[in-house]
Amino acid sequence: MNVKQLIFVLALSFLGHFAGAQTKNKTIKGVVIDKNTNTPIEFATVIIADNTSKKPITGITTDETGVFNFTTKATNFYVEVSFIGYTSKTITDFNNANTEINLGQIFLSEEANQLEEVVVRAEKSSTEFKLDKRVFNVGKDLSSTGASAIEVLNNVPSVNVNIEGQISLRGGQGAQILINGKPSVIASQEGNALGTITADQIEKIEVITNPSAKYEAEGTTGIINIVLRKNEKAGVNGSITLNTGVPNNHSIGFSLNKRTEKFNIFSQLGVGKRTFPNTFTSLSRNKADATEITATGSGNKNEQFYNVVLGTDYHINKNNVITLSGNFAYEFENEDSESLFSENYTDNTLNRSYTRIETTEATNPKFQYELQYKKDFENNKEQNLLFSALGSFFGKDQSSEFNNTVLSGVLNSSRQQTRTDFKEAQYTFKLDYTHPISEKYTIETGGQYVLNDVTNDYAVNDFINNAWINNAGLTNIFNYNQNVLGAYVTGAYEGKKWGIKLGTRLENTNLETVLQNTNENNSQNYTNLFPSIHTSYKITPKFSLQAGFSKRIYRPRLWDLNPFFNIRNNFNIFTGNPNLQPEFTDSYEITSIHKLGKLNLNLGVYHRYTTDVIEDVSFFNETTNVTTRRPENFGTSNTTGFEANYKVGLAKWFSINGDFNYNIFNRKGQFDANNNFDFNGTRWDTKSTAKFKLPASFDLEVTTIYRSQYKTAQNLIKDNLFANLGLRKKIIKGKVILNLSVRDIFASRRFQSITDVPTFYAESDRQRGRFVTFGISYGFGKGEAMEFGASKRF
């Protein structure tokens, strides 16, 4: 099928229902399957053509499961199924008198004479909207060159990542991050573990703002599921990617895959070195005596990393597959920073000033392994059983030394050391069963058991009288063990226009924390029921409505509970709270889906009601001028918001997609007699990506992101506007791809906060700066060149 035919088919798919005689509609459906791999073929073209003129009448493309379903009023026709690189199939053997024609499974074979050097890829839209989630396809994001999961997430609709690496969904904290639908320490936001995942490993990212009971209940604002890439093309395939950039960013990525009738072996390797510079300023003012402490500084974090992925699928037969995979990463870190601290009296005269130099070294092993078994049933391909066992580990062996040089005044200690020995292991066992009772009714059931075991051994030494003396008040061993057992059942009805899905999930949580130095224990054991309901109604083929409700939980995580703190800035300290309780959220939303010519538009309203809200509270010591910040439970939160997601093709060479989110929130909470945190606020953000097809086969992408100013219990977070750019060119028939990425073009991305409470006033400002990366990728075999680099965390 040539380009003109394809355009004609797409046009007919929108206009076909206006054509033809006024006869009774016929429904034509089926599923297109790759004959060699027995996997669905997405975006295959299905047309019906007139038997006499041989001209197309109408057509459609298959969805991600290879399924197609459309209607026609034609009476004398045949069906043709085609996809680039496959031999087309013409179907004439069906009963034309029936009002429903089910063609069943249609198997396509790869063309025998396909040229090895020609690589053609069906381009997906950058964002796809589905019943209960949005899917962001990383391959279309040009500015992800040289980036990691952190930066990729920053381009996903509804998701924001600030410069500190904190992830929010629709403006709220508490999203659950999954890898391939399962929790993993590699997906943990603590310790920047997401840096292990590089852009070239990611196939797509799913945003689920109101999950059904099938998903675990963790995550009060929803779930972000990172789906990793796994090639299953027949034969031997692979690609190699080289990156270089400023600041220091050099890496090489290599992937190799071999697919036979029984086995699919896949692997990836990433090696590289990167530098992350940063600058920062802070100010703290004691309102009792107007004493001020200021700090300014800069630093560099240097990382050298190795990342290996290896796995295999064993196809026992066409209905049973076993997958064994592993991911191992190892990092070497060293960090240097220099800060200038100044303390000023009330009359603005200098009390003392000194420089504080930090030198840090760390090694971080990270790995995970998984065994998965999937069974499809012979009589119904939608009926399946899936079992997986996943184990993962994240460790950090870190040592830091701080040297103070007095410029004026007196210091009690000129040198300090810290040591951290951190180990986290997590094991997940998951079983899911899907059983379609009929074409319209489906039951799903399953369970999940997640075990999390953490130890953090932290020590601080002061250099006193020419000897290192342990600081017992800052040294501790913290043990954290949390086990969550869950089971669910859902039932769904899906008709031609209306559908509904009901579900409930039961979860038991058992948490134990121990601070060994003081023998402080915290035990929690609780069981909760999490119902969900989702419904949809198709008003017209181009307009439908969806609504959903789910109950969610946010369980305090390790760093929320761990009472240790670092001493990078002795005047600004964060510490965990081992007595934190979980948050619970009731989440409601209604969404409308519109197709208006070239515009795809989603409009939605949502409401979240949260109890036992967890938020950071700062406590100021007027004697020492030290601010200590820790999370606390207090009060309730009501958030009501509006969200719009859109994509529009304005011309063949120009399209725009983006999202807009606005919410109003009401907080109520009395922390103690002196701290009433009742307040109202608003928050909004917008993100837009303009894509251009330029002459000489260049693709250009410009993304702008704006986040408004907003208020928390004690802080005012300033607004921020920044932009990213990506440029791509394919050469040598698409086997070589050149990428240029500029993140934070104007070096305007920063994190600024202001705290103004009765006892003290504080400001902080942190910035990373511009990152420029150039990448080149080469694909061989039947593989394809990666469109991004095997790089490290931003």
User: Mean pLDDT, to the nearest integer, of 303-320?
Assistant: 89
pLDDT at residue 453, rounded to an integer: 94
User: Mean pLDDT, to the nearest integer, of 713-721?
Assistant: 93
Rounded to an integer, what distance in angstroms lies between the CA atom of residue 242 and that of residue 267?
Answer: 17
The answer to the question of residue 161 being in a domain is no
Lowest mean pLDDT among 20-34, 51-65, 262-276, 433-447: 20-34
**CATH number of the domain residue 28 falls in:** 2.60.40.10
pLDDT at residue 775, rounded to an integer: 87
Residue 242 and residue 378 in one domain? yes
Give one DSSP letter per residue of 673-739, joined into a string: TTEE--EEEEEEEEEEEEEEEEGGGEEEEEEEEEE--EE-SSEEEPPEEEEEEEEEEEETTTTEEEE
pLDDT at residue 274, rounded to an integer: 87
User: Mean pLDDT, to the nearest integer, of 339-351?
Assistant: 80
The answer to the question of residue 285 being in a domain is yes
The answer to the question of residue 745 being in a domain is yes
Residue 489 and residue 628 in one domain? yes
Instruction: Supply φ then ψ for residue 38, to 5 degrees.
Output: 60, 30
The answer to the question of residue 568 being in a domain is yes
User: Mean pLDDT, to the nearest integer, of 7-24?
Assistant: 42
Per-residue pLDDT tens over the stretch 589-619: 999 988 888 888 889 999 999 999 998 888 8
pLDDT at residue 23, rounded to an integer: 52
pLDDT at residue 147, rounded to an integer: 61
Domain count for the chain: 2
Which one, of 182, 181, 184, 176, lies nearest residue 210 by Cα? 176
Per-residue pLDDT tens over the stretch 546-572: 999 999 999 988 888 887 767 778 888
pLDDT at residue 324, rounded to an integer: 94
pLDDT of residue 400 exceeding 80, the answer is yes
Q: Which of 68, 89, 108 is the last residue of a domain?
A: 108
Higher pLDDT, 564 or 696: 696
pLDDT at residue 8, rounded to an integer: 43
pLDDT of residue 83 exceeding 80, the answer is no
Lowest mean pLDDT among 149-158, 385-394, 696-705: 149-158
User: Mean pLDDT, to the nearest integer, of 380-396?
Assistant: 90
pLDDT of residue 793 exceeding 60, the answer is no
The answer to the question of residue 581 being in a domain is yes
pLDDT at residue 490, rounded to an integer: 95
The answer to the question of residue 449 being in a domain is yes
Q: Which strands form 26-34's sheet, in the order they lie side by side?
A: 67-72, 26-34, 100-108
The answer to the question of residue 587 being in a domain is yes
For the chain, what percent of residues have pLDDT higher than 70? 86
User: Mean pLDDT, to the nearest integer, of 44-60?
Assistant: 81
pLDDT at residue 697, rounded to an integer: 83
**129 and 593 Cβ atoms separated by less than 8 Å:** yes
Supply the mean pLDDT for the chain: 83
pLDDT of residue 192 exceeding 70, the answer is no
Q: Which of 108, 131, 151 is the last residue of a domain?
A: 108
pLDDT at residue 549, rounded to an integer: 94
Q: Which residue do the tokens 């023998």 mark? A: 519
The answer to the question of residue 550 being in a domain is yes
Residue 446 and residue 585 in one domain? yes
User: Mean pLDDT, to the nearest integer, of 190-215?
Assistant: 73
**CATH number of the domain residue 524 falls in:** 2.40.170.20
Q: What is the pTM of this model?
A: 0.77
User: Mean pLDDT, to the nearest integer, of 225-253?
Assistant: 80
96's CB contacts (< 8 A; 6+ apart) are: 26, 75, 76, 77
Per-residue pLDDT tens over the stretch 725-763: 989 888 887 778 888 999 999 999 999 999 998 889 999
pLDDT at residue 145, rounded to an integer: 58
Per-residue pLDDT tens over the stretch 85-114: 678 889 888 877 778 888 889 998 865 443
Q: Which helix (H) or strand (E) holds 6?
A: helix 3-15
> Tokens standing for 29?
């459906």
Q: Domain range holding 414?
A: 235-781
User: Mean pLDDT, to the nearest integer, of 695-709?
Assistant: 91
pLDDT of residue 122 exceeding 70, the answer is no
Label residue 626 by pLDDT band (50, 70, 90).
confident
pLDDT at residue 235, rounded to an integer: 65
Lowest mean pLDDT among 14-28, 468-482, 636-650: 14-28
3-state secondary structure of 119: coil
For the chain, what percent of residues have pLDDT higher than 90? 37
pLDDT at residue 197, rounded to an integer: 66
Q: Which of 58, 84, 108 is the last residue of a domain?
A: 108
Q: Which helix (H) or strand (E) holds 626?
A: strand 626-633
Which one, of 520, 614, 623, lies nearest residue 559 by Cα? 614
pLDDT at residue 113, rounded to an integer: 41
